[in-house]
């Protein structure tokens, strides 16, 4: 029986500038997005009916499987086609690393291969979520607008990420409501070259995540996680991703990243900690 599998890589906002707000309430962003070589796994199998099974260590975090983004992604194709979808959940839910959006993108990718069809129209993909288009591309990119303007980045230097979620969920709408300024400066029009991880980190230190202050006000443990990452040997940058609560540390080597992940896991056994290469 025909089966296709796709990895829903964790999405990481290396920086995120909120540059404005549209009349319809959607915020305008300017963000550098990369992906970790870790995430959920979506498997689709030929079937007459459209079904979803959720497995994996984070399956319990999904409370409304009937409206799961995997099913919504499958319905975006139209035509009432069937498939048995299995989502193996590893990423924390509602954690600022695009878990649901990455799952939707992986479902779209797997179903295109299974059904031998084209992707749904771009507006349908965007309607699934602002991060779905960039997750569908799955490579380093600059994301602007409400998520629909995506410019691929040149190949980035080898680097590793340590992802840390301190076990809290912060509602994205509440984080945006906490912004005191919505018309902030964007990233430079032309980005510099990044010959190595240190150069990338040096540039990122001159950027921001504008959502971090309101998120940390809602959940101060986010700042605790960020500071714990920053204290690890070899950490070039520690920052919150997206609207939180996951933070990331940028490392030049696998050895430093794995050592940091081990140390954090020992110090905070209740936190979710994952070291992974940064997809290039």
Domain-ending residue, one of 151, 167, 191: 151
Residues 146 and 168 in one domain: no
Q: Both 52 and 119 in a single domain?
A: yes
Name the domain count of the chain: 2
**Same domain, residue pair 162 and 260:** yes
Domain match, 92 and 222 both: no
pLDDT band at residue 113, thresholds of 50, 70 and 90? very high
**Does the active-site annotation cover 210?**
no
Mean confidence (pLDDT) of the chain: 95
Among candidate residues 11, 40, 89, 103, the one labeled active-site is: 11
148 neighbors 136 (Cβ within 8 angstroms): no
Q: What is the pLDDT of residues 198-229, one digit of tens each?
A: 999 999 999 999 999 999 999 999 999 999 99
Phi, psi of 240 (to 5 degrees): -80, 145
Q: How many residues are given for the chain?
A: 280
Residues 123, 178, single domain; the answer is no
Domain co-membership, 165 together with 115 = no
Q: Which domain holds residue 239?
A: 154-279
pLDDT for position 93: 85
Helix axis angle, 221-230 to 254-267, nearest 10°: 140
In the 8-state DSSP scheme, what is residue 165? E
Pair 189, 78 in one domain? no
- DSSP collapsed to 3 states, 221-279: HHHHHHHHHHCCCCEEEEEECCCCCCEEEEECCHHHHHHHHHHHHHHCCCCEEEEEEEE
Please tell me what DSSP assigns to residue 133.
H
11 is catalytic: yes
Q: What is the reported pLDDT for 63?
A: 58
pLDDT score recorded for residue 62 = 73
Average pLDDT over residues 190-200: 96
Average pLDDT of the residues in 133-144? 96
Residue 64 has pLDDT above 60, yes or no: no
One domain for residues 13 and 128: yes
Which residue, 247, 273, 248, 279, is CA-closest to 261?
273
Domain boundary among 117, 151, 185: 151
Same domain, 141 and 161: no
Six-digit token string for 171: 């509602």
Query: Do 125 and 195 sit in the same domain of this protein?
Result: no
Looking at the fold, whether 177 and 49 belong to one and the same domain comes out as: no
Instruction: Among 151, 175, 205, give the residue marking a domain's end.
Output: 151
Taking the mean position of all CA atoms in its chain, how far away is CA 107?
15
Instruction: Spot the catalytic one: 64, 131, 196, 210.
Output: 131
């Amino acid at each position: 029986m025909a089966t296709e599998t796709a990895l829903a890589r964790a999405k990481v906002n290396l920086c995120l500038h909120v540059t404005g707000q549209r009349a319809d309430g959607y915020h305008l962003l300017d963000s550098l997005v990369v992906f970790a070589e870790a995430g959920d796994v979506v498997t689709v199998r030929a079937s007459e009916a459209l079904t979803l099974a959720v497995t994996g260590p984070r399956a319990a975090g999904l409370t409304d499987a009937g409206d799961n983004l995997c099913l919504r992604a499958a319905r975006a194709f139209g035509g009432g086609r069937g498939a048995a979808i299995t989502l193996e959940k590893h990423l924390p839910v509602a954690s600022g690393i695009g878990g649901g959006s990455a799952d939707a993108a992986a479902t779209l990718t797997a179903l295109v291969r299974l059904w031998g069809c084209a992707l749904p129209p771009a507006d349908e993909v965007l309607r699934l979520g602002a991060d779905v288009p960039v997750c569908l591309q799955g490579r380093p990119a600059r994301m602007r607008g409400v998520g629909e303007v995506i410019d691929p980045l040149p190949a980035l230097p080898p680097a590793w990420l340590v992802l840390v979620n301190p076990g809290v969920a912060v509602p994205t709408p509440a984080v945006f409501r906490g912004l005191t300024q919505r018309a902030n400066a964007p990233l430079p029009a032309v980005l510099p070259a990044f010959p190595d991880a240190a150069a990338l980190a040096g540039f990122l230190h001159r950027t921001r995540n504008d959502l971090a202050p309101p998120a940390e006000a809602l959940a101060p443990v986010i700042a605790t996680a960020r500071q714990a990452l920053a204290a690890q040997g070899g950490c070039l940058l520690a920052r919150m991703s997206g609207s939180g609560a996951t933070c990331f540390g940028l490392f030049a080597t696998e050895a430093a990243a794995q050592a940091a992940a081990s140390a954090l896991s020992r110090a905070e056994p209740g936190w979710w900690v994952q070291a992974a290469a940064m997809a290039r």
